[in-house]
């Protein structure tokens, strides 16, 4: 794993990067929880997602939003943090020759920024949003959601209650051919304390299903060519 300093809109951005061996390996960007609540790229859920994607052959990057760790700048309530994420995604793409897929993932505030980024970057193929705070941020901006993904939460989450996520999803529209799946980890709170393995299993099961479908579609396309 490499430690990187990326030039961002507010100065340097501190990041960690694990490259895959294959030149056409898929890429994944992982976003951490709320900086004002102590969220950093060292957050256990963020690291769990980071390592999960790397284990599935992705070139994977996580970073500190502005004002966190060695990243310069000041917290901007999500507006400038979205800009940070876009800059880091640009950098991640520049490190890959020809990535076969592009994914984004995040936890809590990072999940919200992940979904915002999804709406602005057409190259994103999939997402994993963990405990998005639908009680604080309206998800109706996913109109329509341009890519398939999954929303995961814990059934004991009192910070971002699952009922609020489910209610927010009723306002979301999805592009034809895309789907948003929903999963709940039993006994997990907002931070998935003592439930990180269950979170990893849930996210991994979904990712493996998507990767299998992608490979099947790629083989069929090659056969028809």
Tens digit of pLDDT for each residue in 30-75?
999 999 999 999 999 999 999 999 999 999 999 999 999 999 999 9
Q: How would residue 185 be classed by pLDDT, with cut points 50, 70 and 90?
A: very high
β-pair type (102-107, 27-31): parallel
**Separation between Cα atoms, residue 41 and residue 132, nearest integer Å:** 17
Token pair 């507010």 is found at 10
CB 183 within 8 A of CB 152: yes
Number of domains in the chain: 1
* Angle (CA) 4 43 160, round 5°: 130
CB 199 within 8 A of CB 107: no
Q: Is the pLDDT of residue 150 over 70?
A: yes
Rounded alpha-carbon distances, angstroms, from residue 97 to 22, 38, 100: 9, 35, 10
**Separation between Cα atoms, residue 160 and residue 132, nearest integer Å:** 7
Which range of residues forms the domain containing residue 195? 2-224
Average pLDDT, the chain: 95
What pTM was computed for the model?
0.96
For residue 22, the domain's CATH number is 3.40.50.1820
Q: Is the pLDDT of residue 225 over 70?
A: no
CB 103 within 8 A of CB 125: yes
Residue 103 three-state SS? strand
Other beta carbons less than 10 A from residue 90's beta carbon = 12
């Amino acid at each position: 794993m490499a430690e990187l300093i990326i030039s961002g809109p507010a100065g340097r951005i501190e990041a960690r990067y694990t490259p895959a061996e294959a030149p056409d390996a898929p890429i994944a960007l992982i976003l951490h929880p709320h900086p004002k609540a102590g969220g950093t790229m060292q957050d256990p859920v963020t690291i769990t997602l980071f390592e999960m994607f790397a284990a599935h052959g992705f070139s994977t990057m996580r970073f500190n939003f502005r004002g966190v760790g060695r990243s310069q700048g000041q917290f901007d309530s999500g507006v400038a943090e979205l800009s940070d994420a876009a800059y880091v995604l640009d950098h991640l793409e520049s490190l890959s020759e020809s990535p076969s897929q592009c994914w984004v993932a995040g936890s809590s505030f990072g999940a919200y920024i992940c979904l915002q980024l999804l709406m602005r970057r057409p190259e994103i193929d999939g997402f994993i949003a963990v405990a998005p705070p639908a009680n604080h941020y309206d998800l109706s901006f996913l109109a329509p959601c341009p890519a398939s993904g999954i929303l995961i939460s814990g059934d004991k989450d009192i910070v971002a209650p699952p009922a609020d996520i489910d209610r927010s999803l009723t306002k979301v529209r999805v592009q034809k051919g895309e789907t948003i799946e929903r999963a709940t980890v039993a006994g997990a709170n907002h931070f998935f304390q003592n439930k990180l393995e269950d979170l990893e299993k849930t996210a991994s099961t979904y990712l493996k299903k998507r990767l299998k479908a992608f490979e099947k579609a790629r083989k069929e396309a090659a056969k028809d060519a």
